Amino acid sequence: MALSGGVCVVTGACGFLGKRLIRLLLEEENFSEIRLVDTNIKLEDVQHFNDCSSSSSSSTRVRACEGDIRDEVFLRRACRGASLVFHIAALIDVLGTVEFSELHGVNVTGTQLLLDVCIEENVSSFIITSSLEVMGPNPRGDPIHSGTEETVYDSSSLKSLYGITKKEAEEKTLQANGKLLPDGTRLATCALRPMYIYGEGCRFLRGHLADGLGNNNVLYRMSLKEAKVNPVYVGNVAFAHLQAARCLKDPTKRQVASGKFYFISDDTPPVSYSDFSHALMSPLGFHIQDKLPLPMSLLYAGCFIMEMVSMMLRPFITLVPPLSRQVLTMLNTHFTFSYQKAQTELGYTPRFSWQQASKGTTEWLAGQLPALQEKL
């Protein structure tokens, strides 16, 4: 079902996924207005989106709403008159560089405020971009092979503060499903859990590229070959969001999809994190280390020591270890998931093949090389 008409709000609109989703919305839908909610919106981004709207013969107006998601007054202005909210905004922190209070404030408190405002303003559909890290892996590194939404997994002892806050935000979102709105209708919510998202504009891949350049075009290996994951292309994640929104608008499908979470993957071949970077960068002349720099037991012990030193120094100085036990576990745990339920209930099928996704990503990485080489 088309989403024509109405006002759509996208939080985190100027981020990696947000930009891709807005481009897709402008290409395939015709809203009266799309509001870009972000903390730092550049004029060129707004102009780019308006140009996309014009080139696609869309009459959609694109409007910037710059502000903090923890500001309730700002959120009320941004959501007034809207019928659909894509909540992508979040603080992503893998290494532990952000204080828990800040992570919780943005990822949890911000989500709750946004939900409260949506209820007050009669927003009928709310889709949150969750994370695979709400599932794990747990500290034991228990693997999952082709997991589904019904997979039972012990995630009660998550160590990732980012994962903990995203899990709470997801729970709040799904608990809000069915809330009565002032106009007599009810709010429908849905959560999408993408795998590791890659594609043009991925800052993590750009970081791996820079590290490889500094190591004479040899990528560092930090994950075992057998610890496979299944990354997902950003264009396919954007399409999954669009399909979720269409389902929540359709009266019949709304009953099926609302109040649920869905894993979002595609047909990217399962491979370890390190080997995935190599698959994208080998066409650019990069090689990869055959083995981990140290045995896993020594790496784990080293992480423990660095974490203890960091904790003891914290009253005097903030020292963030370059690697933690939690990240090491994440990088070395087999953790793959199926998108079958999203396909069956949301009508999601990957728009982009692995060949298309890898080609576009590698070409983008090639374009990053000159600037990175200048910094060496």
Catalytic (active-site) positions: 162
Of 334, 304, 316, 322, nearest to 159 (Cα)?
304
Bridge partners for 63 per DSSP: 35
Mark out the alpha helices in the chain (DSSP H runs): 16-28, 43-55, 72-79, 100-104, 110-120, 161-175, 203-214, 234-249, 251-257, 273-281, 296-313, 325-331, 340-346, 354-374
Burial of 60 (0-12, 13-18, 19+ CB in 10 A): buried
Asked whether the bond before 137 is cis by omega within 30 degrees of 0, the reply is: yes
Burial of 74 (0-12, 13-18, 19+ CB in 10 A): middle
Give the 3-state secondary structure of residue 3.
coil
Asked whether 212 and 247 are in contact (CB, 8 A), the reply is no
Q: Identify residue 111 by its one-letter amino acid code.
A: T
Of 321, 322, 328, nearest to 300 (Cα)?
328
Residue 231 Cα to chain centre, angstroms: 11
Asked whether 346 and 244 are in contact (CB, 8 A), the reply is yes
